[in-house]
């Protein structure tokens, strides 16, 4: 958070002396010399400004770069989608959200569904289809069904954390065919598929054994990414305004 402290003393005419201090967010390293600027009494047209535009912009840009470096280490990737019917006559709807932490290789799965034509049997994550957003392919995560997924219901919710450091979290076919026989390869293939729109979440029912509702989750920007984008735009606007004022 940037804090601005302004102290003004008595001066002659339009002269002004002030100091502004910028406290960087916790964990950030201040720019060399600190974000401080002092302007002595000045009788020029810029004498009214306690701190020059260029100094203010430099401080802002330094803080933005430091914050960018700090936030760049974020390791959570989120994907989400609305579940819908994949077969004629299917009536179910739902939502799914996937969150992957690449520092632990844990995949968190959240799903909610209702109005299914049949009752649930199994659910999986499939990958990777030949075309984005369509087609079918074998199961990637997990063999059989997702652990703890509710069976025999037409509406419900599901939450689980899958450890992608375990070979048992992937089907043998996916591990060997898409992952090249390694866990690192399987993880890379899975998230490459999610990013490319070729991985989908599927809920199977008694009425539609091949799958009643499914969706291809898409990447969702995290708050940190949005903050970085906002700060970058702010820095750009400040720079442009500064150039116009020269």
The residue that leads in pLDDT, 86 or 38, is 86
Each domain of the chain, given as residue ranges in start order, spans 19-72+224-245, 76-221
CA distances from 36 to 3, 5, 22, 27, 160 (A): 12, 11, 7, 19, 49
Which is nearest to 202 in space by CA: 78, 76, 87? 87
DSSP-assigned letter for residue 134? B
- Asked if residue 159 lies in contact with residue 109, where contact means CB atoms within 8 angstroms, the answer is yes
At residue 44, the pLDDT reads 47
Q: Is the pLDDT reported for residue 241 higher than 90?
A: no
Question: What is the residue whose two structure tokens read 């419900």?
Answer: 156
Distance CA 58, CA 167 (A): 50
Distance CA 196, CA 130 (A): 10
Whether the bond into 128 is cis, omega within 30 of 0: yes
Two structure tokens written together for 15: 């002269």
pTM beyond 0.85: no
Distance CA 219, CA 194 (A): 8
At residue 59, the pLDDT reads 53
177-200 mean pLDDT = 98
202-207 mean pLDDT = 98
- Asked if residue 110 lies in contact with residue 96, where contact means CB atoms within 8 angstroms, the answer is yes
At residue 13, the pLDDT reads 39
Q: Tell me the CA end-to-end span of the chain in Å, nearest whole number.
A: 28
Give me the residues paired with residue 218 across strands: 80
**pLDDT per residue as tens digits for the range 123-163:** 999 999 999 999 999 999 999 999 999 999 999 999 999 99
Two structure tokens written together for 163: 């450890």
**pLDDT per residue as tens digits for the range 90-102:** 999 999 999 999 9
């Amino acid at each position: 958070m940037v804090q601005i402290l302004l102290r003004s003393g008595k001066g002659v005419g339009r002269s002004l002396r002030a100091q502004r201090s910028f406290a960087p967010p916790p964990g950030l390293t201040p720019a060399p010399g600190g974000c401080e600027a002092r302007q002595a009494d000045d009788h020029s047209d810029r004498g009214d400004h306690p701190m020059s535009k260029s100094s203010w912009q430099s401080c802002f840009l330094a803080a933005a770069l430091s914050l960018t470096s700090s936030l760049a280490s974020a390791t959570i990737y989120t994907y989400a989608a609305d579940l819908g019917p994949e077969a004629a006559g299917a009536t179910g709807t739902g939502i799914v959200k996937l969150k992957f932490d690449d520092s632990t290789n844990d995949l968190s799965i959240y799903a909610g569904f209702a109005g299914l034509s049949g009752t649930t049997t199994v659910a999986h994550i499939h990958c990777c289809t030949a075309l984005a957003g369509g087609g079918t392919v074998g199961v990637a995560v997990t063999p059989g069904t997702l652990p703890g997924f509710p069976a025999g219901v037409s509406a419900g919710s599901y939450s689980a954390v899958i450890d992608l450091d375990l070979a048992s979290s992937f089907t043998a076919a996916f591990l060997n065919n898409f992952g090249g026989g390694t866990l690192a390869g399987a993880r890379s293939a899975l998230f490459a598929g999610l990013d490319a729109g070729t991985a989908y979440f599927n809920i199977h029912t008694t009425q539609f054994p091949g799958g009643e509702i499914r969706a291809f989750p898409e990447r969702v920007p995290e708050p940190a990414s949005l903050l970085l984008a906002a700060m970058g735009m702010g820095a750009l606007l400040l720079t442009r305004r500064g150039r116009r004022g020269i």
